[in-house]
Structure 1
């Protein structure tokens, strides 16, 4: 039996279980249910954590040192009398203060804020700016409208305000409080986006994305109408990118102020690291890696400075240490990302940065981005090892910005072929192989679910496949590509041809595709009065998919390729 007690940091021991989230100076240091280690306890001491709640055996002698009982007595003896003498508080200022404190607790976490807001002075500075902005009641009302319309957009806006204000201050930009106000209201145009789109638990369709994009210009107009013309450009331009790659006006770098260029980086970082209903959020290092992969779209010097401001350096960063040695970041620890493992470039040896910060990173020199091929190889390596957690990190990096057909043909099919080749040629452990295939199928199933929700399906096609074959990997790949082409595959078992032709008539199609394990008959095409039956073997489908690798995925329909493949084989 475990009992929850509050102990001093000197009393806790390794293997104690954290009973409550550990906060320090408004920062979340560790989550509830974390099992403590000696290293974590040492780091908590360095963070000046003096006590924490833990679960320990109810018969432990340490229970007599439970500080919670002492706190209760102190409250009775000291604080209760003071509450009776409490003075009236300005209700509006109290509302602003509550809004700031409750929202701050939602966003500030060391895993994504790093060194930002480490000091009480920085927190007090941001809080003061927030209060001064909302002294104008119409701004408070506008912000509450956004919160009531879409909670995520409000929290994200607050997050961008905090990160952006601290970063602008570190960069030494002028008019910081004006910029801070613009950062707080940069997404106010989301008030004009339908809630059913904002609350979708899936990726947006192209049509829905076009609607969401209007929040930039609508936010610009709304701020101008509310007497905030001096910051309206921040709402309009925060999705612009270098070389005219953004929206709404395809601006280039020379057309964007420093305040906008800073906001573009903070906005993306906040969005990627924030939790959504359908998205758990990238960790800081992966989000920064994505930003560096697209470094041509942003102010790269600002990106270097932002990394230094966070004190969280993505894997593959080339950095300068405080003892003037150069190093490459090799590993970032989940709980304490500001103390990574680095490889000293001159000595070619690795070291963990010490807990007392006697040696620390002082400067970002460069970032060496992994190529697609390198990330794919890491994905395959973890797939073979059956390390689901790590391979999903690599998988998410691979699929980012890929067209859905490219996900199928650049990741799933090559991965399957590599696994099969290893099994046939090298005779790897069959248990591991089956586990790897199972993991790959699970990833494909997840993509199928996303595709089914993401795309507005306009057509239907008939696939005549035995029930026992429908879990086949290549059948799943065909299903995925048809979804991408906005076609819903309707499965039916072979057998009664009259039922098949009835279904064809009901769906308004004149072709049914029969896929069998082995095709014994030479007759691959059967014209019928009600339509046409086309026959394929699994090897036909596999060869068809292999031949599609390297083609422009956006410029063909899969049904056309299936029919082309069949008639080529007939000519042969």
Structure 2
């Protein structure tokens, strides 16, 4: 069995082979370049060599001939010799040491090439940011403010530090004046989060409308807190970082000409940091996906600054039109997860695709434009994958579609149109019924996830009674009805058909005067049955299906789904 045992071995980079597995993370210039457990490929090994990585620790079978070339012991001795003088006892400023340690520990948490790209690539950049951080915190009250945020909400602290690092380097890239003041504003832009209840900050789902209104107050409260602590020159960063062009933000609906360039840069950095960071309820966007979302909403930001930020990162999202160092224009076709700064591009004049070379002999010089996929284009790709039954790939498109959509829009713009297309394909083109049912089941899975979110998000103000056989409650149309009722802040109370007395007792208990009976087929001609306690309305699943399809294309304006159900029934009777 010994030959299957593995051991950690440190090898010269020329000794490692494709298929070896990293035994520890690789850091270069304070930046995480590759993570533990990564399976090495020839391409990755070549890239590591280009980054001047000299040795790697990998896991090898204990009987491998390469084990004898372990450099670990030699490296330990060399490190001991180098750092021995530093280990001698010296008097140090404990406060400065504490601040320096805080910087280094937090930096390791945020800096990763997959989201930082070319930012902080050199030791000089890291030293520049570190010096500014330490200078800002020379004032003890600022350290105390930062620790107050850290102790209240760790994520908000790490996010603020992340924005500080990215924003400081970006502001320098833009050539903005007074970098140190900007950096201080970026570091404390979210300080108002200390006033937001922890149970809201730590929610494992998206905020509902009431919770969001509470969170929005962190801007003005942060502004006031900074004023109280004498940070008059940077307090406006806390107040204005959620403002957007054309008055689309909060708290004051400011327009572009009312926002300083420092704030305009912060708005982009803040959103990018939030989207690419890990949270309790999501793992974070990849850099290219986050940039794509920013470009989709480009009207809200300084687009010139967005181009500059992409150039500063060196990570160009798919669909970017770029200018190469060999004077050719190209469009980014594919961004590789592990090495996003070396994408695959299509040369526009020649319509030929190529991977940018590992030695950077040809590289991207600047951003020309971004050809954003429209909602319709992404929706069409989603439906295409839905028809094919490709669950994994369609979820990528689904997540892009629902981002920033109101829950009612998710139902009206995604689920209902998708169903209508599937139904048309089945009825008009005679699509395979087995494929149709599979696609509907996939839609239902996605819908069930949304229903659970809707139930948690909304404070329900009313109830209604749906009389449905248990076997039909998993039906896709019934699930859609349930989701729309939740959005209207109505809890549907399900009950099996039984004697009228039990149903009328439930109606009296819920204080409603209508009960909706839904079945596969009607057993009689009556659609409306008046009762002493109220009225019973009868529908078939086909009725519900037609009603749902009729909602496709409706505007976001508030409507009552119960009113639509009643309208549908009475129009059917008139016909």
1:164 counterpart = 2:167: yes
* Separation in structure 1 between the aligned mates of residue 69 and residue 425 of structure 2, nearest angstrom: 58
* Separation in structure 2 between the aligned mates of residue 84 and residue 209 of structure 1, nearest angstrom: 50
Large movers: runs of 4+ above 6 Å: none
- Unaligned regions of 5+ residues in structure 1, if any? none
1:23 matched residue in structure 2: 27
Correspondent of 1:212 among 208, 212, 215: 215
* Separation in structure 2 between the aligned mates of residue 426 and residue 105 of structure 1, nearest angstrom: 56
* Separation in structure 1 between the aligned mates of residue 130 and residue 434 of structure 2, nearest angstrom: 56
1:389 counterpart = 2:392: yes
1:385 to partner: Cα distance = 3.7
1:110-141 C-alpha deviation (Å, 9 max, x unpaired): 11111101111101100110000001111000
Give the conservation status (yes or no) of the 8 Å contact 1:4–1:53.
no
1:523-562 C-alpha deviation (Å, 9 max, x unpaired): 1111112222111111111110111111123320111111
- Three-state SS of the structure 1 residue aligned to 2:157 is helix
- Three-state SS of the structure 2 residue aligned to 1:339 is coil
Correspondent of 1:407 among 397, 405, 410: 410
2:268 matched residue in structure 1: 265
With over 3 angstroms needed to count, the CA separation of the structure-2 counterparts of 1:531 and 1:69, relative to structure 1, is farther
1:289 counterpart = 2:292: yes
Correspondent of 1:33 among 37, 41, 48: 37
Correspondent of 1:11 among 15, 28, 53: 15
TM-score, length-scaled by structure 1: 0.95
1:429 to partner: Cα distance = 6.4
* Separation in structure 1 between the aligned mates of residue 437 and residue 247 of structure 2, nearest angstrom: 47
- Three-state SS of the structure 1 residue aligned to 2:557 is helix
How many residues align? The count is 571
2:358 matched residue in structure 1: 355
Correspondent of 1:507 among 488, 506, 510: 510
1:423 to partner: Cα distance = 5.0
1:174 counterpart = 2:177: yes
Correspondent of 1:43 among 47, 51, 70: 47
Give the conservation status (yes or no) of the 8 Å contact 2:412–2:554.
no
1:30-58 C-alpha deviation (Å, 9 max, x unpaired): 23322222112222222222222323334
1:98 to partner: Cα distance = 1.5
* Separation in structure 1 between the aligned mates of residue 250 and residue 117 of structure 2, nearest angstrom: 30
Correspondent of 1:66 among 61, 65, 70: 70
- Three-state SS of the structure 2 residue aligned to 1:15 is coil
1:416 to partner: Cα distance = 2.8
* Separation in structure 1 between the aligned mates of residue 427 and residue 43 of structure 2, nearest angstrom: 45
Question: 1:311-326 maps to which residues of 2 (within 5 A)?
Answer: 311-326=314-329
Which sits farther off after the overlay, 55-64 or 146-155? Answer: 55-64
Correspondent of 1:563 among 550, 557, 566: 566
- Three-state SS of the structure 1 residue aligned to 2:365 is strand
1:118 counterpart = 2:121: yes
Correspondent of 1:376 among 370, 375, 379: 379
- Three-state SS of the structure 2 residue aligned to 1:554 is coil
1:79 to partner: Cα distance = 6.9
* Separation in structure 1 between the aligned mates of residue 254 and residue 137 of structure 2, nearest angstrom: 31
- Three-state SS of the structure 2 residue aligned to 1:553 is coil
Give the conservation status (yes or no) of the 8 Å contact 2:26–2:33.
yes
With over 3 angstroms needed to count, the CA separation of the structure-2 counterparts of 1:82 and 1:353, relative to structure 1, is same
- Three-state SS of the structure 1 residue aligned to 2:395 is helix
* Separation in structure 2 between the aligned mates of residue 109 and residue 259 of structure 1, nearest angstrom: 24
TM-score, length-scaled by structure 2: 0.95
1:194 counterpart = 2:185: no
1:392 to partner: Cα distance = 2.0
- Three-state SS of the structure 1 residue aligned to 2:450 is helix
1:418-440 C-alpha deviation (Å, 9 max, x unpaired): 33444566566666555543332
- Three-state SS of the structure 1 residue aligned to 2:354 is strand
Which sits farther off after the overlay, 58-67 or 396-405? Answer: 58-67
With over 3 angstroms needed to count, the CA separation of the structure-2 counterparts of 1:361 and 1:527, relative to structure 1, is same
With over 3 angstroms needed to count, the CA separation of the structure-2 counterparts of 1:82 and 1:435, relative to structure 1, is farther
With over 3 angstroms needed to count, the CA separation of the structure-2 counterparts of 1:462 and 1:275, relative to structure 1, is same
* Separation in structure 2 between the aligned mates of residue 517 and residue 384 of structure 1, nearest angstrom: 25
With over 3 angstroms needed to count, the CA separation of the structure-2 counterparts of 1:336 and 1:383, relative to structure 1, is farther
Which sits farther off after the overlay, 311-320 or 518-527? Answer: 518-527
* Separation in structure 2 between the aligned mates of residue 19 and residue 163 of structure 1, nearest angstrom: 29
- Three-state SS of the structure 2 residue aligned to 1:406 is helix
1:538 matched residue in structure 2: 541
- Unaligned regions of 5+ residues in structure 2, if any? none
Question: 1:82-93 maps to which residues of 2 (within 5 A)?
Answer: 85-93=88-96
With over 3 angstroms needed to count, the CA separation of the structure-2 counterparts of 1:52 and 1:200, relative to structure 1, is same
Which sits farther off after the overlay, 415-424 or 535-544? Answer: 415-424
Give the conservation status (yes or no) of the 8 Å contact 1:405–1:554.
no
1:285-310 C-alpha deviation (Å, 9 max, x unpaired): 11111111111111111111001000
* Separation in structure 2 between the aligned mates of residue 472 and residue 543 of structure 1, nearest angstrom: 15
With over 3 angstroms needed to count, the CA separation of the structure-2 counterparts of 1:84 and 1:164, relative to structure 1, is closer
2:156 matched residue in structure 1: 153
Correspondent of 1:529 among 528, 532, 543: 532
With over 3 angstroms needed to count, the CA separation of the structure-2 counterparts of 1:113 and 1:173, relative to structure 1, is same
1:493 counterpart = 2:496: yes
With over 3 angstroms needed to count, the CA separation of the structure-2 counterparts of 1:386 and 1:128, relative to structure 1, is farther
1:74 to partner: Cα distance = 5.2
Give the conservation status (yes or no) of the 8 Å contact 2:329–2:349.
yes
